[in-house]
Amino acid sequence: MALENDTQAPDFELANQFGEHIRLAEFRGKKPVALVFFPLAFSSTCTTELCALRDNLSLFEHAGVELIGISVDSKATLRAWAEQEHYDFTLLADFWPHGDVAKDYGVFLQEKGYANRATFMIDIQGYIRASLITAPGQPRSIAEYQEALQEILPAHV
């Protein structure tokens, strides 16, 4: 079962598409995070979804929110996909131990071997304030992201 709102987001450290290690706790006290779990790089629905995020990256940038994608793919796969699709945001490899971060967030699909489509909007204090979880094969919409962003931003933004 996915983590609920108002829960402290579990900390983790994973390699990004460039092999740099990113730790969630590094953002605490600095900026909110949109943590976007997706099943697999290069799949059609994931590509459509992340291209929509790429094309609307300004929503997150103007709000001061760090957009981070995460999947069970390797960092090399994520780098090739990011280069092909011109993704200008961080992609993290939950590769090994396989899907551990997705498991911590309650969104790993054991029978499939990858994470469900799930987004956790984490405020500046590190608490989950909104989540978007869709049925398999169903993309999350930009309108849903816009609404969820309001849950992690101060009223003046």
Active site residues: 46
Distance between CA atoms of residues 40 and 89, nearest Å: 16
Distance between CA atoms of residues 69 and 38, nearest Å: 7
Helix (H), strand (E) at residue 25: none
Beta-carbon contacts of residue 2 (< 8 Å; ≥ 6 apart): 105, 106, 107, 116, 118, 131, 133
Beta-carbon contacts of residue 76 (< 8 Å; ≥ 6 apart): none
Helix (H), strand (E) at residue 96: none
The pair phi, psi for residue 37, each rounded to 5°, is: -80, 135
